[in-house]
Amino acid sequence: MPDLETPGLPVDIAACFVHPDARVAATLARLRDLVFETAAETADVGELAESLKWGEPSYTPKRPRTGSSVRIAATKDGRVAAYFICHTHLIDRFRERYGEVLAFEGNRAILLDPSLPLPEPELKHCFAMALTWHRDRSAHPSGAG
């Protein structure tokens, strides 16, 4: 059984989880937990590096050539976004599978309404696809994996 404990929040990243809207703050914290849970539950992802990218929390497998990053942030319109690197075409794959459940912004983000329950199984599958992107891409050289 994998250890699902989320590591302590680094001081330099903690400010990103403070928000005047308690629902936004709670959604950001839950997304962080989901990313770590997904990494622990997904074969060969291993430990995650947590850092700031463009002033927002970003999560990437520490092992090289494993996966792509997942970045989370509050949006200016009161929603929360999970961002993915656009050239991975991950959003296209997410949209194919979960277009009825998730909302998207272009080719780079899943948008979430903090007043609604999180679609956790769908988000965890999307996070797993991102965190294993390099590995899956190697298994399917066309990138269609």
Closest C-alpha to 39, from 140, 108, 106, 130: 130
DSSP state of 105: E
pLDDT tens string, the chain, 145 residues long: the values are: 334 457 788 989 999 999 999 999 999 999 999 999 999 999 889 999 999 999 999 999 999 989 999 999 999 999 999 999 988 899 999 999 999 999 999 999 999 999 999 999 999 999 999 999 986 654 444 444 4
Task: Determine phi and psi for 102, rounding to 5 degrees.
Answer: -110, 150
The pTM is what? 0.89
What domains appear along the chain, each with residue ranges and CATH number? 11-139 (3.90.1150)
